[in-house]
């Protein structure tokens, strides 16, 4: 268990902010490489993927260790990972950015969905991607890839620190994915970054409303002109007034 388990309130906040906003919040803290590169959603889900990372590491396949019979082994790390990834977590695979063979297919991803896993990510590719796109679980990859993973990758370690799309991922780090991409938030920063991004999002929404009304961005974004901060406070009160108490 992570020292910094994901709080429900933080999860709720992270569901409502964009990866871009989170990237800026981490940038302020000197973290510049937390967005997973070259990985995108198989289908738009209309909601963010949020959850702590549960990792699987692949290494290059050696032919004698990667015949189809290997999958008959109930301890095969890929199959074990699928059965052990905790509910609400995101399974993240370091496929060495190699999409020449699959990281997983629709059967394994269906199983993850049934087990309540929050999402699945690889910097390689999924087979049966056309089917996975229809499942009720967010999935992210580089491109569809039909060959079995045995062709070029061997699952070798579960829940160790990995790279995914050149981003560092430690087990328990909080992953947030939107329709554009995915970011890796170090677990100990999740609460403060979620809070900050929530506030940034409010201001960005205000900015968008002003820009849509014809305002210039100079002085507005960022708010170097104090008047804009005052107008934002007014707008915010108005917005909050619109939302009935739950």
Site for its own copies in 73-112 (CB under 8 A): 74, 79, 82-83, 96, 100, 102, 105-108, 110-111
- Of 9, 12, 33, 47, the one binding its own copies (CB under 8 A) is 33
**Cβ 8 to its own copies, closest distance in Å?**
25
Binding part of the chain for its own copies, among 9-17, 176-184, 190-198, 230-238 by CB under 8 A, reads: 176-184
Task: Tell me, rounded to whole angstroms, the distance of Cα 105 from its chain centroid.
Answer: 19
Q: Smallest Cα–Cα separation from 89: which of 189, 33, 5?
A: 5
Of the pair 13, 55, the CB lying nearest its own copies is at 55
Pairing of strands 119-122, 139-141: parallel
204 — phi, psi (to 5°)? -65, -35
The reply to whether 226 sits near its own copies by the rule CB under 8 A is no
The reply to whether 5 sits near its own copies by the rule CB under 8 A is no
**Cβ 180 to its own copies, closest distance in Å?**
4
Residue 48 backbone class (left: φ over 0; alpha: ψ -120 to 50; beta: rest): beta
- Of 214, 238, 242, 246, the one binding its own copies (CB under 8 A) is 214
The reply to whether 211 sits near its own copies by the rule CB under 8 A is yes
| DSSP-assigned states of every residue in 195-227 | HHHHHHHHHHHHHHHHHHTT--STTTSS--SHH
């Amino acid at each position: 268990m992570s020292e910094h388990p994901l709080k429900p309130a933080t999860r709720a906040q992270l569901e409502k902010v964009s990866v871009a906003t989170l990237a800026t919040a981490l940038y302020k803290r000197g973290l510049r490489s937390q967005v997973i590169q070259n990985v995108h959603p198989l289908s738009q889900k209309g909601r963010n993927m949020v959850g702590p990372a549960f990792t699987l590491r692949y290494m290059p396949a050696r032919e004698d260790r990667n015949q189809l019979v290997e999958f008959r082994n109930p301890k095969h790390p890929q199959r074990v990972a699928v059965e052990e990834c905790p509910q609400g977590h995101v399974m993240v695979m370091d496929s060495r950015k190699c999409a020449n063979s699959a990281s997983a297919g629709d059967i394994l991803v269906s199983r993850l969905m049934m087990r309540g896993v929050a999402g699945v990510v690889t910097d390689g590719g999924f087979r049966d991607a056309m089917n996975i796109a229809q499942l009720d679980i967010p999935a992210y990859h580089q491109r569809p890839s039909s060959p079995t993973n045995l062709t070029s990758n061997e699952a070798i370690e579960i829940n160790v620190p990995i790279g995914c799309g050149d981003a560092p991922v430690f087990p328990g780090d909080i992953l947030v994915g939107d329709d554009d991409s995915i970011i890796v938030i170090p677990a100990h920063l999740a609460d403060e970054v979620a809070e900050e991004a929530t506030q940034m999002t409010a201001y960005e929404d205000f900015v968008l409303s002003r820009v849509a009304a014809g305002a210039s961005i100079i002085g507005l974004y960022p708010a170097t002109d104090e008047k804009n901060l005052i107008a934002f406070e007014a707008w915010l009160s108005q917005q909050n007034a619109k939302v009935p108490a739950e």
